[in-house]
């Protein structure tokens, strides 16, 4: 159907005039320079990845409260590509721990040439394999996760940190745009809510190994088109890790008044 | 325009070469450490240990030849006497060289 161009044009009204006429103008919140951190900022600054938990279980209603914050996370096209699996059964948590440790052991023995005897043929071949894999999967094969995999394989580090509750974040692979980003935003809501409730959390990327186990997928209800995107461990932290730490500053390109500045 | 040279983009560092892969390090200020032991407990990688110094006092220190500090900084965050700080964050040569980072700073109020 042909529509006159004039009819297609959006009517230009000044939104601020409209709110004024309606007598319903919103107020501009004034935050003075140098104001102290507010409650939300405080939570963001004090949140840490907690890897040592007390044995006490987290009350179920607090987990529900956190997931409720996840439910209200923004997502691309409001597609909400998430589904949650909450595990509070210590036998299941031990089971997924053992499976992920096993996968780390396999991965480590396939790629960790650094732990093989110097000058050996095995080390020579493994190094070539690892370098090739590194080039193909530069994100997964970053030296930091690789050293994590080695530490888990050697039993120096746990996958789920013996937390009393583990939340799996499942992602609908059909999500709009870039669904892993939505999972990240959803999980951020969850971990910040947890921090505000006095709970410690940690993101567990190695939980993705579970996608490789048909048995665990069936048991946990992970079916197409869903996959495990991330996991979050939850529990009460040991000690009070609330001391604010120093971190790197990052480059900020700042464009204003026709000038570009670089700030940190 | 690229921040990494062609050579760097092709170079994947050796994991076992400390010149190519510099991992995170923390330093304990023994003057301030009160030997509460909490940092050795929260460290997920078991990098810190308690020892008895010359004056018979318990202090924390980074284990020699340790592998595996994951730069979680929880020892730093849990230390109530402010004795632990990161001495340097990780950095790598080649493909993984850190970019666009400035000085370390505590949260700044603007």
Q: What are A12-26's pLDDT values in tens digits? A: 889 999 999 999 999
Could you tell me which CATH number the domain at B19-95 has? 3.30.70.3270
pLDDT score for A5? 67
- And the tokens for A53? 């938990």
Residue with tokens 């088109």: A225
Rounded distance between C-alpha atoms, residue B39 and residue B37, angstroms: 6
Tens of pLDDT, residue by residue over A100-137, are 999 999 999 999 898 888 899 999 999 999 999 999 99
Nearest to A241 among B13, B23, B78 (CB): B78
Report chain A residues whose CB lies below 8 A from the CB of B16. Answer: 113-114
Report chain A residues whose CB lies below 8 A from the CB of B74. Answer: 48-52, 241
Coil, strand, or helix at residue A133?
helix
Tens of pLDDT, residue by residue over A155-214, are 989 999 999 999 999 999 999 999 999 999 999 999 999 999 999 999 999 999 999 999
Q: Which of A143, A107, A71 is nearest to B97 (CA)?
A: A143
- Write the CA distances from A116 to A48, A108, A124, A129, A192, integer angstroms: 34, 11, 9, 14, 42
Positions of CATH 3.40.109.10 in chain A: 39-88+164-264
CB atoms inside a 10 Å sphere around CB A166:
25
Q: Which residues contact B12 (CB under 8 A, 6 or more apart)?
A: A131, A134, A135, A138, A141, B94, B95, B96
Which homologous superfamily is A39-88+164-264 in?
Answer: NADH Oxidase (3.40.109.10)
Nearest to A51 among B44, B80, B89 (CB): B44
> What percent of chain A lies above the pLDDT cut of 70?
96
Give B77→chain A minimum CA distance, Å: 4
- And the tokens for B107? 């949260």
**Pairwise CB contact (< 8 Å): B67 & A36:** no
Asked whether the ipTM of the predicted complex exceeds the cut of 0.85, the reply is yes
């Amino acid at each position: 159907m042909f529509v006159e161009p004039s009819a297609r044009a959006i009517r230009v009204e000044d939104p601020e005039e409209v709110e004024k006429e309606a007598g319903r103008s919103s107020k501009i919140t004034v935050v003075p320079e140098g104001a102290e951190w507010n409650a939300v900022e405080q939570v963001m600054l004090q949140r840490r990845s907690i890897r040592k938990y007390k044995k006490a279980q987290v009350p179920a209603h607090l987990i529900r409260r956190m997931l409720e914050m996840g439910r209200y996370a923004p997502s691309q096209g409001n597609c909400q590509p998430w589904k949650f699996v909450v595990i509070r059964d210590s036998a299941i948590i031990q089971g997924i721990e053992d499976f992920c440790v096993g996968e780390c052991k396999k991965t480590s023995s396939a790629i960790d040439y650094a732990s093989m005897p110097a000058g050996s043929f095995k080390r020579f071949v493994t190094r070539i394999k690892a370098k090739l894999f590194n080039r193909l999967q530069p994100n997964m094969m970053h030296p930091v996760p690789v050293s994590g995999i080695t530490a888990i394989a050697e039993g120096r580090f746990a996958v789920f940190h013996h937390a009393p509750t583990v939340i799996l974040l499942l992602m609908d692979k059909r999500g709009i745009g870039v669904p892993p980003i939505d999972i990240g935003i959803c999980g951020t809501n969850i971990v910040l809510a947890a921090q505000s409730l006095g709970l410690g959390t940690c993101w567990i990327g190695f939980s993705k190994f579970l996608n490789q186990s048909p048995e665990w997928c069936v048991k946990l209800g992970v079916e197409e088109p869903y996959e495990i995107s991330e996991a979050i461990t939850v529990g009460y932290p040991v000690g009070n890790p609330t001391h604010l730490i120093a971190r790197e500053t990052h480059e900020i390109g700042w464009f204003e008044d026709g000038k570009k500045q670089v700030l940190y | 325009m690229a921040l990494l040279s062609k050579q760097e983009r092709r170079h994947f560092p050796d994991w076992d070469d400390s010149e190519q892969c510099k991992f995170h390090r923390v330093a304990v200020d023994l003057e301030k450490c009160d030997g509460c032991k909490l940092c050795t407990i929260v460290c997920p990688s078991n990098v810190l240990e308690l020892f008895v110094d010359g004056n018979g006092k318990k202090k924390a220190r980074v284990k020699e030849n340790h592998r595996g500090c994951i730069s979680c900084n929880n020892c730093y965050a849990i230390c109530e006497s402010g004795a632990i700080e990161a001495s340097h964050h990780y950095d790598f040569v080649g493909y993984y060289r850190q970019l666009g980072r400035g000085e370390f700073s505590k949260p700044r109020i603007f």
